[in-house]
Amino acid sequence: MAMTMTQKILAAHAGLESVTAGQLIKAKLDLVLANDITGPVAINEFDKAGFSSVSNDARIALVMDHFAPNKDIKSAESCKKCRSFAKRFGIESFYDVGEMGVEHALIPEKGLIAPGEAAIGADSHTCTYGALGAFSTGVGSTDMAAGMATGEAWFKVPSAIKVNLTGSLQKYVSGKDVILHLIGMIGVDGALYQSLEFTGEGVKSLTMSDRLTICNMAIEAGAKNGIFPVDDITREYMAGRCERSWTAFEADADAPYTRVIDIDLSGVPCTVAYPHLPENTHPADEGAGIEIDQVVIGSCTNGNLEDMAAAAAILHGRHVKKGLRAIVIPATPKIYMECVERGYVKTFMEAGCIVSTPTCGPCLGGHMGILAAGERAVATTNRNFVGRMGHVESEVYLASPVVAAASAVTGHISHPKEVESE
Ligand code: SF4
């Protein structure tokens, strides 16, 4: 029976020859992930269920990223709970301050996920790892607890949408614009409980950073997961990161898709999602009348080195608009260090930005840049729901690093060509 790429990975992990959309399966897991918000809830469920050991099969990763370094007593207690659980069961992939980065940037960077593997995470943006040709998806803390104990999880096999990419991106346009463009086309429930399977000759023109950003936001279209084929770019990314052998799965030529969406990458504009949904998309060059108070460049969506480089290129030799707060957050310590060594931190600071230690921070309205009533931010994050970055009367505009950097310079939503032509 013909299967999509996701279905092939799920079948292999369920020990079945084939699976079909809608089938309920129990699959072995390669990775089970939680953070400092969801980890404590999962640990409570783990203890309540009476589990006394963790799986030897699945890798367990606990990443203290959301409210760390701890912003208050409650977050300190949450991290403490995860810390003592990791100690109790000898969990090696426990990442605390000094080693931690934003989880969905850290996990691929550390080689904790590989093509063909299956992962769950008690965090909705776990779908990021589809960029590597893995199946990964977000789950609740109860499934997380069971996954830690048994190394397995149940799934309803998703049907799939094929996203056929052609052409290549224009100057200033990146993976963030592609995924915002797609969500603008299909809506925030356009791929509900489906796989978004990216394919076509345009794939090869997308960097790994583009692919990570695109898969990160698959959930913003309601998708169960996003996934890219494994190619030379994937192999180059994995080289030296992971000693495990891994499998590159491919969709069958006659795999079943409920829908095919064609996107010519050369026609994707720099795109901004206005409040309060990622589907509310507009071309960046139409935003000149929208004054902003803050810019955030970072998060699991756009905190990678390529994102930092893109923002630094715009900010080099320029200054952020007086009165505007610009916050740059490299997603992992390794990326932070590279930003120091390449001079990006100097560029950001000379431009009037602050550069934070890796953390989720303002992305979820946690700390490091909360918005007051009536304030507006352009952010490279992935959600712009009501109150996401602070007060319910604040607004978040989602954009790529170059659009965010250009907007920081002008003080309003700007296409980067607006500042580069000055
Ligand atoms: Fe969630 Fe934002 Fe952290 Fe990503 S950066 S894991 S979206 S809070």
Average pLDDT over residues 195-220: 98
Residue 216 CA, ligand 1 centroid: distance in Å: 10
Average pLDDT over residues 247-253: 98
Q: Is pLDDT of 261 > 80?
A: yes
Percent of the chain with pLDDT over 70: 100
- Burial annotation 37-71 (CB, 10 A radius, 16+ → b, else e): bbbbbbbebbeeeebeebbeebbbbbbbbbbbbbe
Structure tokens at 374: 């009536």
pLDDT tens, position by position, 377-414 = 999 999 999 999 999 999 999 999 999 999 999 999 99
Q: Which residues contact 162 (CB under 8 A, 6 or more apart)?
A: 197, 199, 257, 259, 260, 261
Residue 356 in 3-state DSSP? coil
What is the pLDDT at residue 264? 98
* Ligand 1 shell residues, CB under 6 Å: 66, 102-104, 123, 125, 299-300, 360, 363-364, 381-382
Structure tokens at 92: 């090696």
Strand ranges (E), 189-323: 194-199, 225-227, 259-264, 271-273, 281-283, 294-297
Q: Which atom of ligand 1 is nearest to the CA of 366?
A: 8
pLDDT tens, position by position, 344-377 = 999 999 999 999 999 999 999 999 999 999 999 9
Average pLDDT over residues 12-34: 98
Query: What single-letter amino acid sits at 300?
Result: C
Evaluate whether 5-264 and 273-420 have a shared fold: yes
Residue 326 in 3-state DSSP? strand
Q: Is pLDDT of 422 > 90?
A: no
pTM for this prediction: 0.98
pLDDT tens, position by position, 55-90 = 988 899 999 999 999 999 999 999 999 999 999 999
What is the pLDDT at residue 287? 87
What is the pLDDT at residue 363? 97
Q: Is pLDDT of 421 > 90?
A: no
Residue 363 CA, ligand 1 centroid: distance in Å: 6
What is the pLDDT at residue 315? 98
What is the edge-to-edge ordering of all strands in the sheet holding 395-398? 281-283, 271-273, 395-398, 376-379, 294-297, 325-328, 354-355
What is the pLDDT at residue 246? 98
Residue 261 CA, ligand 1 centroid: distance in Å: 27
What is the pLDDT at residue 325? 98
Is there a contact between 231 and 208 (Cβ–Cβ < 8 Å)?
Answer: no
Percent of the chain with pLDDT over 90: 98
Locate the domains of the chain by residue range: 5-264, 273-420
d(CA 239, CA 230): 13
What is the pLDDT at residue 208? 98
The residue whose CA is least distant from atom 6 of ligand 1 is: 300
Output the CATH code of domain 5-264: 3.30.499.10
CATH of 273-420, picked from 3.30.70.940, 3.30.499.10, 3.30.70.3270, 3.40.50.300, is 3.30.499.10
Residue 254 CA, ligand 1 centroid: distance in Å: 36
pLDDT tens, position by position, 87-115 = 999 999 999 999 999 999 999 999 999 99
